[in-house]
């Protein structure tokens, strides 16, 4: 048993992640081919990398490596993993992918200590890419995300978060001084735009994308919406408020 917890949502998570990363790499490739100021390397930060292979299936670092290879995109991946066994397995599972075009570094330890030294401000060209958080159903490290968004090198690196909204709601109920609702927290993290996937399962699993790109496209076939659409606003309301709070809005007991 590895450090990754799996559940009914795992297959859908990996399928949506694979579709997302493929679309994202193509978008970044297109920008890199047109803009001389764009760094020609795709920068990937997997903040909860795991071991790469979970129950025989590809995990996020291997899905990333395969897509980057098939699109022939130059990439630099920093893979953060706190569990020593998983980090060792990940190095092993990546051995066939490391090349001049695709560079992988596995960084062992708690990402709240290991990430910030890797976010440089002395950049020549603007990096594009993705930072991915997949924290085993725990509350995402919002303060770390906020700090990362402040780095100059992260302006065009989008943030994708897989989260269980019910966990965040429970945390907010238990510690109202520490946690705000997602509709308030997500737009405050340092990126200008938020996209949300329709929540699934009783844990309300969702993907959230934080980006500075105003025209970032929705992926409606996957249930991923922009907040300027009815579906996006509905998804945000469902992940942010409890059933009771939503009921109160419609009975007039809470302001929208
Ligand atoms: C859900 S699993 C990740 C699965 C992986 N993204 C995949 O698709 O295969 C979460 C991983 O995050 C790691 N993790 C949890 N907290 C961490 C932290 N603070 N720093 C680094 N890794 C962490 C766990 O050890 C676990 O391997």
Which alpha helices (H) appear in the chain, and where do they start and end?
10-34, 60-70, 84-93, 111-114, 142-150, 165-174, 182-185, 230-240, 243-250
For the cut 60, the answer to whether the pLDDT of residue 256 exceeds it is: no
Using the atom order of ligand 1, give the atom closest to the CA of residue 58.
9
Report pLDDT for 136: 87
Say if residue 22's pLDDT is above 80: yes
H helices, E strands: number in the chain? 9, 10
Residue 113: pLDDT band with limits 50, 70, 90 = very high
Pocket residue to mutate for ligand 1, from 4, 7, 18, 48, most atoms within 8 A of Cβ:
48
Q: Please report the DSSP string for 200-221 in residue order.
A: BTTTTEEEEEEES-TTPPPBGG
**pLDDT tens sequence across 83-106:** 999 999 999 999 999 887 899 999
Q: How far is the CA of 58 from the centre of ligand 1 (A)?
A: 14
In the chain, the domains with their CATH numbers are 10-250 (3.40.50.150)
Q: Is the pLDDT score of 149 beyond 60?
A: yes
What is the model's pLDDT at position 160? Answer: 98
pLDDT band at 251 (very low <50, low <70, confident <90, very high): confident
CB 222 within 8 A of CB 16: yes
Question: pLDDT-derived band of residue 169, with 50, 70 and 90 as boundaries?
Answer: very high
Q: Rounded CA gap, 185 and 163, in Å?
A: 13
Ligand 1 binding pocket, CB closer than 6 Å: 3-5, 48, 50, 54, 59-60, 80-83, 86, 110-112, 134-136
Mean of all residue pLDDT scores within the chain: 94
pLDDT over 70 for what percent of the chain?
98
User: Does the pLDDT of residue 111 top 80, yes or no?
Assistant: yes
Does residue 128 register a pLDDT over 90? Answer: yes
Confidence of residue 148 (pLDDT cuts 50, 70, 90): very high
Say how many Å lie between the CA of residue 5 and the centre of ligand 1: 9
Whether the predicted pLDDT of 247 surpasses 90: no
pLDDT tens for each residue of 208-232: 999 999 999 999 999 999 999 999 9
Tens-digit pLDDT profile for residues 67-88: 999 999 999 999 999 999 999 9
Sign (positive/negative) of CA torsion 236, 203, 190, 124? Answer: negative
CA distances from 178 to 134, 139, 172 (A): 21, 12, 7
Mean pLDDT along residues 149-162: 97
Per-residue confidence band for 123, with pLDDT thresholds at 50, 70 and 90: confident
Instruction: Give residue 225's Cα distance to chain centre.
Output: 15
Q: Please state which of the ranges 35-44, 57-66, 243-252 shows the lowest mean pLDDT.
A: 243-252
């Amino acid at each position: 048993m590895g450090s990754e917890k799996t559940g009914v949502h795992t297959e859908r998570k990996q399928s949506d992640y694979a579709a997302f990363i493929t679309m994202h790499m193509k978008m970044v490739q297109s920008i890199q081919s047109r803009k001389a100021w764009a760094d020609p390397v795709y920068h990937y930060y997997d903040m909860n990398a795991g071991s790469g292979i979970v129950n025989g299936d590809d995990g996020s670092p291997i899905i990333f490596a395969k897509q980057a290879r098939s699109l022939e995109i130059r990439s630099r991946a920093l893979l953060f993993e706190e569990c020593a066994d998983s980090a060792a397995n990940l190095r092993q599972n990546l051995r066939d992918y490391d090349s001049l075009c695709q560079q992988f570094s596995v960084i062992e330890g708690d990402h709240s200590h290991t990430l910030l030294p890797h976010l440089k401000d002395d950049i020549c060209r603007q990096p594009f890419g993705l930072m991915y958080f997949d924290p085993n159903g725990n509350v995402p490290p919002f303060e770390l995300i906020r700090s990362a968004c402040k780095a100059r090198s992260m302006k065009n690196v989008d943030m994708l978060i897989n989260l269980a909204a019910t966990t965040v709601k429970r945390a907010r109920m238990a510690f109202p001084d520490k946690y705000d609702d997602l509709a308030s927290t997500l737009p405050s993290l340092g990126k200008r735009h938020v996209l949300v996937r329709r929540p699934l399962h009783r844990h309300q699993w969702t993907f959230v994308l934080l980006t500075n790109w105003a025209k970032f496209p929705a992926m409606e076939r996957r249930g991923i919406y922009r907040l300027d659409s009815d579906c996006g606003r509905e998804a945000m309301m469902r992940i942010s408020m409890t059933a009771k709070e939503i009921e109160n809005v419609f009975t007039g007991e809470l302001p929208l």
